[in-house]
Amino acid sequence: MIPELGHFALILAALVSLILGTLPMIGAHTNRQAWIAVARPAATALAMLVTFSFACLTQAFVANDFSVVYVAQHSNSLLPIEYRVAGVWGGHEGSLLLWILMLTWWAFLVAVFSRELPDTMVARVLATLGLVGFGFLLFILLTSNPFERLLPGAAEGRDLNPLLQDPGLVIHPPLLYMGYVGFSVAYAFAIAALLSGKLDAAWARWSRPWTMAAWIFLTLGIAMGSWWAYYELGWGGWWFWDPVENASFMPWLIGTALIHSLAVTEKRGSFKNWTVLLAISAFSLSLLGTFLVRSGVLTSVHAFATDPRRGIFILIFLVAVIGASLTLFAARAPKVGLGGRFGLISRESLLLTNNVLLVVACATVLLGTLYPLLIDALGVGKISVGPPYFNAVFVPVMSPILFLMGVGPFARWKEASIPEIAKAVKWALAVGVIVAIALPLLYGQWYAMTALGIFFATWIVVTALLNFIERVQHTRAGRGFLATAASQPRSFVGMHLAHIGVAVFVVGVTMVGSYQDEKDVKMAPGESVDVAGYHFTFNGVKAVEGPNYVAAQGDFDLAVNGQFVRKMNPEKRNYHSSAMPMTEASIDAGLLRDVYVSLGEPIDRDKPEGEWAVRVYYKPFVDWIWGGCVLMSVGGLIAMLDRRYRVKARAAANLPAGTQEA
Amino acid sequence: MKTRHKKLALIGGALAIIGIIAALVLNALNSNIALYITPTEVAAGKAPQGKLFRIGGLVKEGSIQRQADGVTISFVITDTAKDIPVAYKGILPDLFKEGKGAVAQGKLDGAGTFVATEVLAKHDENYMPPEAAKAVSDAQAGMSANQHVSPSSAEAAKTGN
């Protein structure tokens, strides 16, 4: 009964989203107040209906209702409760439902927090979100109904893919989807601006916090996925240039370009068309990502068993959204205008360079991801584009971005002078070069790439500090240094914190890439192995029992300089319900390094108490990779909470009626 | 500087950057693409020499052997028509099993053994990498075509008489 209610709520939601997508849109166009007023209540109703539907599916999982096909395929009565809840988004149908849940909640939040915005603007934004929601609801109802019944019901479920039975999975998809779907708000704002033809600083100020919020979630979601791959896939990598990872990375690159471009649009009124185009691109790439992942054209851990109808539906939807948006853009962009002028060397031009480079970076990822698909579709052959391609392309494209990150904050708007900037950053350059030469030498091996990475990281941190100090000195006006420092605008503090996050990330990538050490060895109980000064002694393997699996648990002693540090217990698990073995690595995490042990297989399958193939890793600074992402997100959050988004937004709403879009 | 000159400089700069990057991308793409080659094609000598490529197929039953060092493994990848011996040093993925699909990346050595630097199996027990599936279905299509040819050509011969 409850699954049917959930299904019914979804059908109602589709109807409501159609109303939300049409009435307020027409109302805004023809200036009918009553139709415009439909937007907020419809968005609220939509969010409530989808939430109810989602709750129904969750209930089916919690109650082990195996008469629902989706539950029978992705759960099991032995599955712990937290994974039964996470199992809701463990498969195709449920993850789409999560997608649409996020979309309707974003729309709901826009409806709640948009009191300062003109009603026509809100109507257009919510209507755009309603139309996107309608497309996805149709998709769920027509091709991927999670509430489909199994008659007669199964006695037991097939269980959740063991790879997904991990706390990381509970958080990763929702975070990632919040980011993906969050760009729909930036997109809706862009579409509303195109429709009204009015794109000004106030518009940019409204869009910025929403875009920033989506970007924060996407950053955390990607970082979480990377961290999960690191510890759960068991083989110590943190990024594989897997097409699905790329699918989430592309919107991130464009989203990063967008938040910088929005800054220019807000402060200087420039880059208007460009900003709109980026907002459309970011969301289109989110849709493309969904298409790539869900259609089964890609093969990866994320690809679920697929049905070609689904791929075709998303493809049509993708083409419709991108086609309609770009047509609208072509028709209306001249009305929106380019915006203010700026000098050849100015903060605008530096940010434009940043934008071009980020877009180029995204294009290279897109090429590397789609090229094998294209070759395959043309029937020329099957190829794979591997990590070396991406690494070879990414370093030269990202290097100038990292360099500009240090220069940009010193450049004045409109017209900057190179000597002035050079004077401000010369010490940062000196410190960067010294650290870049010295640090790799201290680590024993000097590589040019290591020095380059360390240089950029130092450069970014020192320039950020210099810029911060300079600004504090300028704005002191007789107050104490600390008091002035504490009263800097949040957007300024957030920007530098996020940039320092990038530096931290770069340190992690550089150090782990240069100095990691790994050994694959055969170990008998009592034997030991050394990696980078860490001494591992293998004491054998014992059988342990988990809630829904049995595992062989290795017992290792970790020692440094003859001093015992800790026990490490990696596991090889066998889940009851599926024949899949699973590797659970044991990681000793630290600020400056991780050491990592994984069990391979017993050398003789019939003697698990004997010798095992074992992999041990030394991973310097690897946690800085994710730490850097967290800093970027915190920086974004601080910037998003800047006072002016509230104060001035209210002031803008109090402008005389004539200046608002009628 | 005049506005028009500034614009030209900006556009020129952007074009130069894009040009450099395009050259870089094409170069990287050219040297980092791995072709998929089926075991039948490898046996027919179609594999590139001294260049990385990928083979896909099934891990032949009873073919997995562990060398004395414990971490070098040899096995046979087959598309059911032809077998290719593979050597790999390292730890195999969890789902690597005899009789299941796998994809390996590496090079051929002088003796005709495929020395793999990477072995991929997928993350689902029932999942078959499409490249492996294609190699097997191609080989089987080839074989059944041959089988069809013989009886029908025999028949043609008969009716011709």
* Interface membership of B101 toward A (CB under 8 Å): no
What would the two tokens of residue A547 be? 């809630």
* Interface membership of B9 toward A (CB under 8 Å): yes
Contact B69 A522 (CB under 8 A): yes
pLDDT at B105 over 80: yes
Judge if the upstream peptide bond of residue A152 is cis by omega within 30 degrees of 0.
yes
Q: Which of A368, A383, A413 is the last residue of a domain?
A: A413
Give the Cα-Cα-Cα angle A274, A636, A507 (nearest 5 degrees): 100
pLDDT classification of A536: cutoffs 50, 70, 90: very high
Rounded alpha-carbon distances, angstroms, from residue A122 to A199, A640, B91, B127: 14, 20, 56, 46
Among B14, B34, B122, whose Cβ lies nearest the Cβ of A356? B14
In a domain, A659, yes or no: no
pLDDT at B148 over 50: no
Element (H, E) at A529: strand A528-531
**Helix extents (H) in A158-296:** 167-196, 201-232, 243-268, 272-294
Residues of A in contact with B89 (CB under 8 A): 520
- Look at residue A187 and give its three-state secondary structure: helix
Q: What is the CATH number assigned to the segment(s) B35-149?
A: 2.40.50.140
Distance from CA of B74 to the nearest CA of A (A): 13
Rounded alpha-carbon distances, angstroms, from residue A228 to A83, A166, B4, B21: 15, 8, 51, 32
Residues of B in contact with A386 (CB under 8 A): 32-34, 105
Whether residue A534 sits in one domain with residue A493: no
A533 and A625 Cβ atoms separated by less than 8 Å = no
pLDDT classification of A123: cutoffs 50, 70, 90: very high
pLDDT at A654 over 70: no
Domain, as residue range, for A459: 417-506+626-653
* Across A341-345, A537-541, A575-579, least confident range: A575-579
* Interface membership of B30 toward A (CB under 8 Å): no
Instruction: Could you list the beta-strand ranges (E) of chain B.
Output: 33-37, 53-59, 65-66, 72-78, 83-89, 101-108, 114-120
Distance CA A660, CA A645 (A): 18
Distance CA A349, CA B10 (A): 8
Residues of B in contact with A382 (CB under 8 A): 35-36, 131, 134
Rounded alpha-carbon distances, angstroms, from residue A528 to A293, A386, A470: 43, 35, 55
Tokens 């789409």 appear where?
A96
Instruction: Report pLDDT for A631.
Output: 97
Instruction: Report pLDDT for A304.
Output: 45
Please give the residue of chain B at the shortest CA–CA distance from A382. Answer: B36
Q: With pLDDT > 90 as the criterion, what percentage of chain A qualifies?
A: 46
Contact B91 A397 (CB under 8 A): no
B64 and B98 Cβ atoms separated by less than 8 Å = yes
Contact B36 A521 (CB under 8 A): no
Contact A360 B124 (CB under 8 A): no
The average pLDDT across A165-192 equals 89
pLDDT digits (tens, 9 = 90+) for A494-534: 999 999 999 999 999 999 989 999 888 888 898 999 998 89
The average pLDDT across A26-39 equals 92
Please give the residue of chain B at the shortest CA–CA distance from A341. Answer: B3
- Look at residue A444 and give its three-state secondary structure: coil
DSSP character for A412? P
The average pLDDT across B123-135 equals 59
* Interface membership of B123 toward A (CB under 8 Å): yes
> What does chain A come to in residues?
662
Contact A383 B21 (CB under 8 A): no
Contact A389 B28 (CB under 8 A): yes
Per the model's pLDDT, the better-predicted residue between B2 and A175 turns out to be: A175
Residues of A in contact with B94 (CB under 8 A): 234, 580-583
* Interface membership of B66 toward A (CB under 8 Å): yes
In a domain, A658, yes or no: no
Whether residue A146 sits in one domain with residue A189: no
Give the highest mean pLDDT range of A40-44, A233-237, A419-423, B128-132. A40-44
Contact A388 B28 (CB under 8 A): yes
Q: Pick from A155, A95, A82, A129: which is nearest to A577 by CA?
A: A155
Tokens 């020129």 appear where?
B12
In a domain, A511, yes or no: no
- For residue A630, the number of C-alpha atoms closer than 13 Å in the C-beta half-sphere is 8
pLDDT at B84 over 60: yes
* Interface membership of B92 toward A (CB under 8 Å): yes
Contact A341 B3 (CB under 8 A): yes
What would the two tokens of residue B135 be? 């190699």
pLDDT classification of A273: cutoffs 50, 70, 90: confident
pLDDT at A293 over 80: no
Residues of B in contact with A385 (CB under 8 A): 29, 32-34
Distance CA A494, CA A301 (A): 35
Contact B89 A520 (CB under 8 A): yes
Distance CA A288, CA A456 (A): 32
CB pairs under 8 A between A and B: 107
Residues of A in contact with B92 (CB under 8 A): 600-601
Whether residue A552 sits in one domain with residue A495: no
Residues of B in contact with A161 (CB under 8 A): 123-124
A532 and A618 Cβ atoms separated by less than 8 Å = yes
pLDDT digits (tens, 9 = 90+) for A151-174: 888 888 887 877 778 887 788 888
DSSP character for B92? P
Distance from CA of A549 to the nearest CA of B (A): 15
Contact A392 B70 (CB under 8 A): no
pLDDT at A305 over 50: no
Contact B94 A582 (CB under 8 A): yes
Whether residue A133 sits in one domain with residue A25: yes
Distance from CA of A7 to the nearest CA of B (A): 29
Whether residue A275 sits in one domain with residue A220: yes
Among A299, A341, A396, whose Cβ lies nearest the Cβ of B129? A299
Whichever domain contains A47, its CATH number is: 1.20.120
Q: Which residues 142-161 of B have a C-beta within 8 angstroms of A?
A: none
Among A344, A384, A581, whose Cβ lies nearest the Cβ of B54? A384
Distance CA A227, CA A221 (A): 10
pTM: 0.89
In a domain, A146, yes or no: yes
Q: Which of A387, A413, A439 is the last residue of a domain?
A: A413
Contact A393 B25 (CB under 8 A): yes
Distance from CA of B150 to the nearest CA of A (A): 29
Instruction: Report pLDDT for B149.
Output: 38
Whether residue A202 sits in one domain with residue A92: no
Instruction: Report pLDDT for B143.
Output: 60
Residues of B in contact with A597 (CB under 8 A): none
B90 and A520 Cβ atoms separated by less than 8 Å = yes
* Interface membership of B21 toward A (CB under 8 Å): yes
pLDDT classification of B150: cutoffs 50, 70, 90: very low
Element (H, E) at A555: strand A549-560
Arithmetic mean of pLDDT over chain B: 75
Instruction: Report pLDDT for A658.
Output: 36
Sheet with A612-620, strands from edge to edge, namely A517-523, A612-620, A593-602, A586-588
Distance from CA of A202 to the nearest CA of B (A): 27
Q: Pick from A438, A630, A592, A632: which is nearest to A512 by CA?
A: A592
A221 and A248 Cβ atoms separated by less than 8 Å = yes
Structural domain count of chain A: 4
pLDDT digits (tens, 9 = 90+) for A372-396: 878 877 777 777 887 888 888 888 8
Distance CA A170, CA A302 (A): 15
CA dihedral over A292, A293, A294, A298, signed as positive or negative: positive
Residues of B in contact with A601 (CB under 8 A): 91-92
Distance CA A628, CA A650 (A): 34
Contact B94 A580 (CB under 8 A): yes
Whether residue A409 sits in one domain with residue A430: no
The average pLDDT across A210-217 equals 95
pLDDT classification of A103: cutoffs 50, 70, 90: very high
Distance CA A186, CA A193 (A): 11
A584, β-bridge pairs: A571
Among B69, B90, B125, whose Cβ lies nearest the Cβ of A579? B125
A583, β-bridge pairs: A572
Distance CA A225, CA A220 (A): 9
Give the highest mean pLDDT range of A409-423, B2-16, B146-160. A409-423
B104, β-bridge pairs: B55, B119
Q: Pick from A475, A467, A436: which is nearest to A454 by CA?
A: A436
Instruction: Report pLDDT for B57.
Output: 84
Element (H, E) at A74: helix A69-74
Whether residue A635 sits in one domain with residue A568: no
Whether residue A361 sits in one domain with residue A277: yes
pLDDT classification of A270: cutoffs 50, 70, 90: confident
Contact B91 A601 (CB under 8 A): yes
Tokens 């990281």 appear where?
A457
Residues of B in contact with A341 (CB under 8 A): 3
A563 and A587 Cβ atoms separated by less than 8 Å = no
Distance CA A457, CA A436 (A): 9
Whether residue A430 sits in one domain with residue A408: no
Element (H, E) at A523: strand A517-523
DSSP character for A235? S
Element (H, E) at A596: strand A593-602
Distance CA A228, CA A164 (A): 10
Q: Is B127 annotated as a binding residue?
A: yes
Arithmetic mean of pLDDT over chain A: 87
Distance CA B126, CA B132 (A): 13
Cα A341 off chain centre by: 33
Distance from CA of B114 to the nearest CA of A (A): 17
- Hey, of A382, A391, A529, A616, which one would you mutate to test binding to chain B, going by the most B CBs within 10 A of its CB? A382
Task: Tell me the domain boundaries of chain B.
Answer: 1-33, 35-149
Distance CA B148, CA B142 (A): 10
- A553 phi and psi angles, rounded to 5 deg: -110, 120
Tokens 């900003």 appear where?
A275
Residues of A in contact with B129 (CB under 8 A): 299
* Across A312-321, B27-36, B59-68, least confident range: B27-36
Which burial class, exposed, middle or buried, applies to A418 when counting CB atoms under 10 A from its CB (0-12, 13-18, 19+)?
exposed
Whether residue A304 sits in one domain with residue A179: yes
Among A344, A521, A603, whose Cβ lies nearest the Cβ of B10? A344
Instruction: Report pLDDT for A584.
Output: 86
Q: Which of A165, A189, A222 is the last residue of a domain?
A: A165
Angle between helix axes A243-268 and A167-196 (nearest 10 degrees) is 40
Q: Is B123 annotated as a binding residue?
A: yes
The average pLDDT across A337-350 equals 79
Residues of A in contact with B134 (CB under 8 A): 382
In a domain, A662, yes or no: no
Residues of B in contact with A352 (CB under 8 A): 10
DSSP character for A144? -
Distance from CA of A170 to the nearest CA of B (A): 18
Residues of A in contact with B25 (CB under 8 A): 364, 367, 393
Rounded alpha-carbon distances, angstroms, from residue A110 to A41, A491, A538: 12, 21, 56
Q: How many CB atoms lie within 10 A of CB A195?
A: 20
* Across A417-421, B90-94, B143-147, least confident range: B143-147
In a domain, A579, yes or no: yes
Sequence-distant (≥ 6) Cβ neighbours of residue A114 within 8 angstroms? A121, A122, A125, A206
Q: Pick from A489, A500, A433: which is nearest to A647 by CA?
A: A489
Bridge-based pairing state of the strands B114-120 and A586-588: unpaired
Whether residue A425 sits in one domain with residue A403: no
The average pLDDT across A46-74 equals 93
Distance CA A655, CA A349 (A): 31
